Amino acid sequence: MKIRDIIDEVNKSNKKALTVFLTAGFPDKNKFIDYAKAAIDGGVDILEIGIPFSDPLADGPVIQASSSLALKQNVTLKDIFNFIESIRKYSDIPTVLMGYANPINKYGKEKFLIDASASGANGLIVPDIPLEEYDFFFPANNHGLDIILLTTPTSSDERIRAIDKKSEGFVYCVSVTGTTGADKNFDDSTVEHLKRTYSLITKNKMMIGFGIGKPEDIKKFYDYSDGFIVGSRIIKSILEGTEPAVIKETVEIFKNACG
């Protein structure tokens, strides 16, 4: 099922969709699938899988640490495609790859899209490719992958509309300026930013990410999004040694907050 259809199906039940971010190959190659299955069993609607990179500009210290650990184990793009194949055997949940331009360029853009799609991936986020470089970076044929673009608090109304027009699957709304992390301070300006962005997104569904670290965050922004993305909160728990069974329970708590 397409990403958009999954979100729409959840919304029709008067609920918000939940995406959980996991760094591929973290905490190690053998246990990664166990954590992915735990998130799925906890009720996540979409699984976002981060491609480890040495200079992840949009990621805060927690996700950077997980990426560094994965790189030390030599996690490769081929490993990641194998992970997705394993996940696909377990569940038909949509999977979205999140990675930076350099590893994709090195692998070969066309080859990457072909192999990612063949593995069972449904979407792709490349945060360091802005709207202006979209047509240059991505081939005309994305081989069935939804290319998901991001808005930020500094995005103008015109830019948000253009991102909505170009994006597929959903629009990733960055809640606050800066990098990822579960310790963000939300104020009235955050609410106004989310309300404004949500009102301008008409083609796609909108998911809020960056700083969604507790169920209360979901409840606070519930009316201004079609879903939420939780990353650093989960990654931090895994860094601290939390086992998959407990991660499943954590995901269930966030899923319950989604309605």
The C-alpha atoms of residue 139 and residue 163 are separated, in whole angstroms, by 17
Whether 59 is catalytic is yes
173 close to 207: Cβ distance less than 8 angstroms: yes
- Spatial CB neighbours of 177, under 8 Å, sequence gap ≥ 6: 152, 153, 154
The active-site residue out of 59, 146, 168, 217 is 59
The C-alpha atoms of residue 219 and residue 222 are separated, in whole angstroms, by 5
Phi, psi dihedrals of residue 141, rounded to the nearest 5°: -105, 110
The C-alpha atoms of residue 184 and residue 121 are separated, in whole angstroms, by 30
The active-site residue out of 48, 115, 217, 226 is 48
Q: Is 244 helix (H, G, I), strand (E, B) or coil?
A: helix
166 close to 95: Cβ distance less than 8 angstroms: no
Buried b / exposed e over 23-52, threshold 16 CB at 10 Å, is: bbbbbebeebbebbbbbbbbbbbbbbbbbb
The C-alpha atoms of residue 173 and residue 5 are separated, in whole angstroms, by 19
Q: Which residues are catalytic?
A: 48, 59
